[in-house]
Amino acid sequence: MTLALIDYGAGNLHSVHNALKAAGADDVVVTADPDVVANADRIVLPGVGAFAHCMGALSAISGMVEAMEKRVRGEGIPFLGICVGMQLLANAGVEHGTTEGLGWIDGTVRAIKPAAGLKVPHMGWNDVTPSRRGLLQQGEAYFLHGYHFDAADGADVLATTDHGGSLVAAVGNDNVIGVQFHPEKSQAYGINFLKGFLEWMP
């Protein structure tokens, strides 16, 4: 099983690669080659930083978005987006203007509104509360984000966390899942989640 970990200059690749290996992935290919992505058995899209920068960097690789669309949306292989990689699944992000996303899951990425006594960005360990049975388990994971996924359809919300109110911790439908937390920084909880993703047969 080949797992393509997409390298578009906007992800924590080394840590994610190590976490996937620790979870049992035996053939992780870190790649910026659309042909590799178009033939992978699973795809992971990491992401750190600003929505617009990440979407711009991904789109700048000729054929990459098309390869992802073909393999994930057309052929149904399992896909995981992490942090901003999850946010890019939205229709758009509104950070320094509006930037179009992949549009795989209806929603908009918006700034977290600070609640009294709580800081933004939302940083550190926090609860993950699944909305239904699936890959996500109840537990604690590591978060670092100042923007959140505002899902248009609650059925696409797989898990939430709380930071002065409910925030989306994971979204997904069919063969696509995205998590706002960092599995690679979430110790045993993160590794167990990645193990589940590697075994997932949507």
Indicate which residue of 122, 145, 163, 184 is catalytic.
184
Task: Dump pLDDT digits (tens) for 15-33.
Answer: 999 999 999 999 999 999 9
The reply to whether 184 belongs to the active site is: yes
> What is the predicted pLDDT for the residue at 32?
97
Task: Dump pLDDT digits (tens) for 82-127.
Answer: 999 999 999 999 988 999 999 999 999 999 988 778 888 999 999 9
**pLDDT confidence of 149, banded at 50, 70, 90?**
very high
Indicate which residue of 17, 54, 83, 163 is catalytic.
83
Task: Classify strands 92-94 and 107-111 as parallel, antiparallel or unpaired.
Answer: parallel
Indicate which residue of 17, 145, 163, 182 is catalytic.
182
The reply to whether 182 belongs to the active site is: yes
> What is the predicted pLDDT for the residue at 11?
79
Q: Which two tokens stand for residue 140?
A: 């604690």
Distance between alpha carbon 130 and the CA centroid of its chain, in Å?
16
Domains and CATH numbers, the chain: 3-199 (3.40.50.880)
> What is the predicted pLDDT for the residue at 113?
87
DSSP 96-150: SSEEE---SS-EEEEEPPPPTT--SSEEEEEEEEESSSSS--SEEEEEEESEEEE
Task: Dump pLDDT digits (tens) for 152-197.
Answer: 999 999 999 999 889 999 999 999 999 999 999 999 999 999 999 9
Structure letter (DSSP) for residue 70: I
Of residues 47, 50, 56, the one with CA closest to residue 10: 47
> What is the predicted pLDDT for the residue at 46?
97
> What is the predicted pLDDT for the residue at 133?
87
The secondary structure element, H or E, covering residue 85 is: helix 84-87
Distance between alpha carbon 116 and the CA centroid of its chain, in Å?
28
The secondary structure element, H or E, covering residue 53 is: helix 51-59
More confident residue, 60 or 117: 60
Q: What pTM was computed for the model?
A: 0.97
